[in-house]
Chain A
Amino acid sequence: MMLSCKETIRLLSQGADRKLGFGERVALRVHLAICDGCRNVNAQFKFLRLAVKSLTQDDHEEKSA
């Protein structure tokens, strides 16, 4: 099964929230191997997660830049 980019990023997102099935993981990897745009979004999603976590730590805390 070939995923579209739209389907791929939906699965990328869901992969952060539930365990993907075997077929889904394979289709995702195949698509990511050939698609720069979706790989970039994958990295952005990972960064977002990290950033929101760092927000937790810095919340209500004065930080010198």
Chain B
Amino acid sequence: MDTIRRQSREQPVSEFDAQSETAEFDAQFDRRGHWEEPPDAWEQPEGALGQKQFLAALEACLRALPERTARVFMMREHLGLETPEICKELEITATHCWVMLHRARMSLRLCLGKNWFEKT
């Protein structure tokens, strides 16, 4: 936690993360904002939870996120901090925080889909 905080101070979050991520994100939708390909359900995802290999896949997907996006996501989901705390700590707006959290979820969804659920 201290490491996370220190890193955040040294590298203030002032701009949105990588454009490439945005392109991948936008490619999922048509111009009207509807799915290009509606996502399928993951089959029995609960079964993956206890599996060491799945957790390794999840960690790999987390490492693949842009550093700042991963930091905000882990502060929220791993440490369970509330968004106002995260915003304050990282000196970012609530809107920016939500955008980053949403991007993290969308990236992880694609990554896990590709690296785990579509393989098994």
Contacts and interface: CB of A to CB of B under 8 A. Distances in A.
Contacts, number: 96
B58 A51 contact: yes
Nearest to B41: A40
A42 to B, nearest CB: 10
Interface residues of B, number: 39
A17 B77 CA distance: 10
Main secondary structure of the interface of A (DSSP, over half): helix
A12 to B, nearest CB: 9
Contacts of A48: 77, 105, 108-109, 112
Contacts of A65: 50-53
B77 A49 contact: yes
Interface string B35-67: 100111110011011111111001100100000
Contact of B55 (A7, A14, A58): A58
A56 B49 CA distance: 12
A41 interface: yes
A37 B35 contact: yes
A4 B97 contact: no
User: Closest 8 A-B residue pairs measured CB to CB?
Assistant: A4-B33, A37-B38, A6-B33, A13-B102, A52-B77, A40-B41, A47-B45, A37-B35
Interface of A: 4-7, 9-10, 13-14, 16-18, 35-38, 40-41, 43-45, 47-56, 58, 63-65
